[in-house]
């Protein structure tokens, strides 16, 4: 750890609602070491230095700061809202964290240094400037409950594993197309356990054609496939099938790759199943679970994701519009001169946008008004995804109200409200019925 000093303007006085900080600290984090800049309250000098990225080094550094400032609060600005550094710092009660989006720091750097040059000590200084002079635009990070944060991490981890399973399934599909394409036609879903067991037993077409018809029937019956016409058709097509290639180089390498991919898919299946159980257990014990479990079409997969999206901090979102914007469901309006246009929101929490979009799409089959509203958007000329996003925005307003009042959703109550207010949706629903 090292430090030096340079002249800087004095830090401003405390703002309403925040503690009187003993110092303001900015950290430009990295994998091996962190560069920092700090200004003590009431001083016009800025200290800089670096510390190693290890629990022991950070703990020694924090202990030194606590002793130096007598345990008074320290405002800390850093370029991430989660990750190793945040998890290291959040255990120190004297620290108030102000996470900054990396894109914001990048734009601030570009505004002051158009050349695009990046320098860790300079970035630490930029972060400190943001904390010193632009704190009204920053929000102190307040961790949600342990149950909520656990659920947030679990549902995101599950999504990552599902994406990985999709990637491995795509590789398996491409490999089978090279030497054994018939199984893709016979079994359809490449990630199904039935296909996996079939390939483990008969990794090539030639080996499968050597099997007796009764052996094949027993295999299908063992896997709860008892549609005799389907089994007969598969056996008949197997007998007539022609190998895609006789090239031993392709056959040998492809078989080995399929074997490896099947093993990875099996592990991913087991891991996702384990996460599903853990998510279900954590979600059911959450005090707000009833609100999100009541939502049409949410089910065991999406209800926990919606719960994680809202969390338990009611003061986090001032209105439903904040949720719509944060999740990326609300579009962006831009104006230049006399020209104004609306476009898709790119900068947002994409996992949340995916969550609300998927659930809105599912709700169409379970909610009469959602189905009518979606059709209304289609009739107006909207494309499918635009109509689903519009539906998601409407759902967010409803769920926000339920969340704020801790009241489970009731479809009949909402339909009655539509009728009382003479909503066109009520007439459309009545026509559909």
- pLDDT digit string (tens) for the chain, length 433 residues: 544 444 444 444 555 567 899 999 999 877 778 889 999 998 889 999 999 888 899 999 999 999 999 999 999 998 876 677 788 888 899 999 998 877 777 777 777 777 666 656 778 888 998 888 888 888 888 888 999 999 999 999 999 999 999 999 999 999 999 999 999 999 878 888 899 999 999 999 999 999 999 999 999 999 988 899 999 999 999 999 999 999 999 999 999 999 999 999 999 999 999 999 999 999 999 999 999 999 999 999 999 999 999 999 998 889 999 999 888 887 655 555 555 455 455 556 788 889 999 999 999 999 999 999 999 999 999 999 999 999 999 999 999 999 999 999 999 999 999 999 888 888 888 776 6
Residue 370 dihedral angles phi and psi, to the nearest 5°: -65, -40
Residue 424 confidence (pLDDT): 87
Q: Exposure pattern of 10-46 as b/e (b: 16+ CB <10 Å)?
A: ebeeeeeeeeebbbbbbbbbeeebbbbbbbbbeeeeb
CATH number of 149-282: 1.10.287
Distances (CA, A) of 420 to 335, 356, 427: 37, 28, 11
Residue 165 confidence (pLDDT): 95
Residue 50 dihedral angles phi and psi, to the nearest 5°: -150, 155
- What are the residues whose beta carbons fall under 8 Å from the beta carbon of 271, sequence distance 6 or more? 161
CATH 1.10.287 residue ranges of the chain are 149-282
Residue 175 confidence (pLDDT): 96
CATH 3.30.420 residue ranges of the chain are 4-143
Residue 363 confidence (pLDDT): 96
Residue 83 confidence (pLDDT): 72
Residue 82 confidence (pLDDT): 64
- The encoded tokens of residue 269 equal 């299946």
Rounded to whole angstroms, the Cα distance separating 145 from 314 reads 12
How many whole angstroms from its chain centre is CA 70?
A: 40
Is residue 238 within 8 Å of residue 182, measured between CB atoms?
yes
Element (H, E) at 96: strand 95-99
SS3 50: strand
- Domain 4-143, CATH number (from 3.80.10, 3.30.310, 3.30.420, 3.30.70): 3.30.420
Rounded to whole angstroms, the Cα distance separating 87 from 107 reads 26
Is residue 175 within 8 Å of residue 346, measured between CB atoms?
no
């Amino acid at each position: 750890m090292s430090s030096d000093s340079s002249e800087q303007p004095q830090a401003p006085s405390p703002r309403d609602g925040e503690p009187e900080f003993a110092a303001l600290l900015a950290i430009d984090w990295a994998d091996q070491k962190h560069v920092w800049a700090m200004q003590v309250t009431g001083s016009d000098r800025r200290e800089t230095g670096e510390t190693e990225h290890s629990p022991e080094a950070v703990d020694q550094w924090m202990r030194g700061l606590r002793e130096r400032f007598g345990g008074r609060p320290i405002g800390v600005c850093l370029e991430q809202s989660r990750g190793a550094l945040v998890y290291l710092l959040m255990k120190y009660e004297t620290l108030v964290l102000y996470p900054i989006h990396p894109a914001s720091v990048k734009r601030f750097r570009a505004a002051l240094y158009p050349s695009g040059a990046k320098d860790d000590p300079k970035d630490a200084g930029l972060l400190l400037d943001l904390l010193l002079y632009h704190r009204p635009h920053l929000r102190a990070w307040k961790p949600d409950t342990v149950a909520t944060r656990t659920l947030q991490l679990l549902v995101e981890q599950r999504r990552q594993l599902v994406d990985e399973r999709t990637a491995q399934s795509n590789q398996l599909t491409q490999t089978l197309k090279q030497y054994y394409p018939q199984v893709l036609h016979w079994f359809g879903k490449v990630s199904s356990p039935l296909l996996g067991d079939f390939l483990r037993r008969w990794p090539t077409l030639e080996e499968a054609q050597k099997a007796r018809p009764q052996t094949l029937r027993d295999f299908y019956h063992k896997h709860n496939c008892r549609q005799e016409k389907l089994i007969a058709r598969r056996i008949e097509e197997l007998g007539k099938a022609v190998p895609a290639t006789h090239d031993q180089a392709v056959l040998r390498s492809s078989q080995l790759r399929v074997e490896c991919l099947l093993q990875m898919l099996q592990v991913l299946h087991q891991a996702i199943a384990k996460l599903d159980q853990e998510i279900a257990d954590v979600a059911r014990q959450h005090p707000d679970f009833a609100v999100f479990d009541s939502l049409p079409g949410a089910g065991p997969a999406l209800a926990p994701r919606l719960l994680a999206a809202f969390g338990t901090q009611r003061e986090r979102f001032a209105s439903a519009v904040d949720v719509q914007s944060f999740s990326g469901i609300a579009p962006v309006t831009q104006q230049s001169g006399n020209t104004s246009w609306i476009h898709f929101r790119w900068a947002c929490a994409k996992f949340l946008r995916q969550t609300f979009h998927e659930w809105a799409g599912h709700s169409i089959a379970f909610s009469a008004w959602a189905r009518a509203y979606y059709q209304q958007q289609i009739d107006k000329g909207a494309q499918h995804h635009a109509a689903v996003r519009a539906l998601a925005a409407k759902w967010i307003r409803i769920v926000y109200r339920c969340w704020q009042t801790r009241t489970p959703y009731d479809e009949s109550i909402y339909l009655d409200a539509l009728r009382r207010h003479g909503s066109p949706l009520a007439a459309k629903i009545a026509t559909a019925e």
